[in-house]
Structure 1
Amino acid sequence: MFGGFVGFGNNKGGDWGEKLINTVASNTIRHLFTSSDSVEVAVKCNPSSKLLQGTIDSFKMNGCGLVIKKQFRTAEMSFETDAVAIDFSSAVQGKIALKQPTQAIAQVRLSEADINKSFEADLVRKRLENLTPDGLTAISEGKPVSFNDVTVKLLPDNRVKLEAQASWEDKVVPVSLSCILGISKRRRVKFEDIQFEQEDIPQELQNVSQELTVALGEILNEMVDLDKFNLDGVKLRLNRLQTEGQVLLFSGYAQIEKVPGAS
């Protein structure tokens, strides 16, 4: 499952300290994900004798097909830390313990297919089913509303098109919108400049569909908050996002207080 581990030196003598840190770091990262296609780890330390004092110049990880919490897949994830101070004795025990917090520059690539698959995850479905806010129940005459069959198409210039089916009792109304993806407070993905795509909706349903579009936009803007996905001891923040063909690219950083355990 995990292959291609990259060492931080080519010492053919095989420095035991280097091998130990690589092995422990690889195993630690491996257990953060449900599964993966590949993970590569590179630890830089020059001279390698600094390891005995617990000093590492930088730590890099690149992974493909990483599955988080069993249901959220990323096409690719990479990060590189600043200098890291670790407790070398903890590595001997098979753990990575930081002596002080560190930061890592991070990039995440999400494919259009993986984004659409994420709308089927239990954590997301709970935010889209059996909804009863006033704005929705006014439309559905007091009945809970669910948004199903959500599909997202990535467009140039950070735009996306989103389609869904709103339903309550035996009523089904298609919803279609386009918007621009943005970032708020470096931790929220925002759906901005939401436009109702009426040409995709039968004329007799356009009025109610437009109302549902407004409601869905409000729900989406409260849904993608990185603080809800943080690992224990790790705070994630976004600097930039952009659409590149059928891929959504995030770049930002992680403030690491401690190395998290398995999730």
Structure 2
Amino acid sequence: MFNSLTSLANPTDGDWGERLLNTVASKTIRYLFTHSESVEVFVKCHPSSKLLQGSIDSFKMNGRALVIRGDFQAEELSFETDAVVIDFSNVLRGKLTLKQPTQAIAQVTLSEAGINQAFQAELVKTRLQNLSLPALSDILGGEFVSFEAIQFKLLPNNGVRIFAQADLSNGEIVPISLSATISIERRRRLVFCNPKFEADTVPESQWKISQTLCAVLAEILDRMVDLDRFDLDGITMRINRLETQGKQLIFIGYAQIERIPSSSSPH
């Protein structure tokens, strides 16, 4: 590993350390994802001799077409850190380790298609199937319900419309359509504010039960989308704001980085 990495390092070239670190950091971060179209790291360090003491002004990462845990897709992910102190001796061994925690400004862009694909993941589907709702058994004609075929449509001004089907334990299939506004709670949880039943795609004979199930689904989604469940080991993410732009949902916030994780395995 040392020989392959030092082939990049020409001691007479002032930016050899930056190029070496770019290579190691890019490889390290790329391994956090199941798939990536591109992962690039850009180091800022002036003068470059500071690298020998492990001191870096900042480094910036840009990733495109990323897949996390095989099912969760991000169109783009970027972050730029504050000053970083690393173990430079480990860089020469092909590893990236921090000597102290750092923070980074982060931006994540999700596509409408990627969000809908995430609802096909087993981790998500298991939280939407065979749900026990004894308090609503009289209305539902049974105690259990499964939500399936969920589709998100992003709307302007942080709006979203959600389509789904509810499979009731008595065998009835109920179409669901609701609109809501997405906002952030405690900088980590996505909430669906003011959910509103949309009747245009639901038969009139099922309006009452569909409206009831719309409220249930909105409540389930509120509990489901929590960043703490998706943190990489050693990295905590927080959201300052979000916005919808066409078919994209953009999160802007920061990441507290305690250490560089070795994989993207879940907690």
TM-score (norm 2): 0.91
Distance in 1, matches of 2:22 and 2:40, equals 10
Distance in 1, matches of 2:181 and 2:255, equals 25
**Residues 182 and 192 of structure 1 are in contact (CA less than 8 Å); yes or no, is this contact kept in structure 2?**
yes
Distance in 2, matches of 1:122 and 1:56, equals 40
Name the residue aligned to 1:24: 24
Larger deviation: 110-119 or 90-99?
Answer: 90-99
One-letter amino acid of the structure 2 residue matched with residue 249 of structure 1? I
**Residues 66 and 75 of structure 2 are in contact (CA less than 8 Å); yes or no, is this contact kept in structure 1?**
yes
RMSD across aligned C-alpha pairs, in angstroms?
1.5
- For 1:120-159, what per-residue CA distance to the aligned partner results, in whole angstroms no more than 9, with x for missing partners? 1111101111111334545434442110000111111101
Which secondary structure state, in structure 2, belongs to the residue aligned with residue 154 of structure 1? strand
One-letter amino acid of the structure 2 residue matched with residue 255 of structure 1? Q
- Residues 26-41 of structure 1: pairs in structure 2 closer than 5 A: 26-41=26-41
Distance in 2, matches of 1:84 and 1:13, equals 22
Which secondary structure state, in structure 1, belongs to the residue aligned with residue 79 of structure 2? strand
- Residues 65-144 of structure 1: pairs in structure 2 closer than 5 A: 65-144=65-144
One-letter amino acid of the structure 2 residue matched with residue 45 of structure 1? C
Name the residue aligned to 1:6: none
One-letter amino acid of the structure 2 residue matched with residue 94 of structure 1? G
Which secondary structure state, in structure 2, belongs to the residue aligned with residue 194 of structure 1? strand
Which secondary structure state, in structure 2, belongs to the residue aligned with residue 210 of structure 1? helix
Larger deviation: 205-214 or 11-20?
Answer: 11-20
Larger deviation: 195-204 or 16-25?
Answer: 16-25
Name the residue aligned to 1:231: 232
Instruction: Specify whether residues 218 and 136 from structure 1 end up closer, same or farther in structure 2 by C-alpha distance, changes over 3 A only.
Output: farther
Deviation at 1:39, TM superposition (A): 1.6
Name the residue aligned to 1:3: none
- For 1:209-240, what per-residue CA distance to the aligned partner results, in whole angstroms no more than 9, with x for missing partners? 00101111110110000000111111100000
Name the residue aligned to 1:214: 215
One-letter amino acid of the structure 1 residue matched with residue 55 of structure 2? T
One-letter amino acid of the structure 2 residue matched with residue 216 of structure 1? L
Instruction: Specify whether residues 36 and 138 from structure 1 end up closer, same or farther in structure 2 by C-alpha distance, changes over 3 A only.
Output: farther
Name the residue aligned to 2:5: none
Distance in 1, matches of 2:214 and 2:12, equals 62
Instruction: Specify whether residues 92 and 133 from structure 1 end up closer, same or farther in structure 2 by C-alpha distance, changes over 3 A only.
Output: farther
One-letter amino acid of the structure 1 residue matched with residue 110 of structure 2? L
Name the residue aligned to 1:61: 61
Structure 2 residue 261 is the aligned partner of structure 1 residue 260: yes
Instruction: Specify whether residues 206 and 251 from structure 1 end up closer, same or farther in structure 2 by C-alpha distance, changes over 3 A only.
Output: same
Larger deviation: 197-206 or 87-96?
Answer: 87-96
**Residues 140 and 209 of structure 2 are in contact (CA less than 8 Å); yes or no, is this contact kept in structure 1?**
no
Instruction: Specify whether residues 168 and 85 from structure 1 end up closer, same or farther in structure 2 by C-alpha distance, changes over 3 A only.
Output: same
Deviation at 1:15, TM superposition (A): 4.5
**Residues 101 and 258 of structure 2 are in contact (CA less than 8 Å); yes or no, is this contact kept in structure 1?**
yes
**Residues 136 and 215 of structure 1 are in contact (CA less than 8 Å); yes or no, is this contact kept in structure 2?**
no
Deviation at 1:171, TM superposition (A): 1.1
Distance in 2, matches of 1:204 and 1:133, equals 21
Name the residue aligned to 1:44: 44
Which secondary structure state, in structure 2, belongs to the residue aligned with residue 120 of structure 1? coil
Which secondary structure state, in structure 2, belongs to the residue aligned with residue 89 of structure 1? helix
Distance in 2, matches of 1:99 and 1:246, equals 40
Distance in 2, matches of 1:183 and 1:171, equals 34
Task: Give percent identity, aligned residues only.
Answer: 57
- For 1:41-81, what per-residue CA distance to the aligned partner results, in whole angstroms no more than 9, with x for missing partners? 10111110000000011110111100001100111111000
**Residues 110 and 250 of structure 2 are in contact (CA less than 8 Å); yes or no, is this contact kept in structure 1?**
yes
Deviation at 1:96, TM superposition (A): 1.2
Distance in 1, matches of 2:65 and 2:73, equals 6
Name the residue aligned to 1:8: none
**Residues 136 and 145 of structure 1 are in contact (CA less than 8 Å); yes or no, is this contact kept in structure 2?**
no
**Residues 133 and 145 of structure 2 are in contact (CA less than 8 Å); yes or no, is this contact kept in structure 1?**
no
One-letter amino acid of the structure 1 residue matched with residue 74 of structure 2? T
- Pairs aligned (count): 253
Name the residue aligned to 1:177: 178
Gaps of 5+ in 2: 1-10
One-letter amino acid of the structure 1 residue matched with residue 244 of structure 2? T
Name the residue aligned to 1:196: 197
Which secondary structure state, in structure 1, belongs to the residue aligned with residue 195 of structure 2? strand
Distance in 2, matches of 1:14 and 1:51, equals 11
Distance in 2, matches of 1:12 and 1:200, equals 69
Deviation at 1:103, TM superposition (A): 0.2
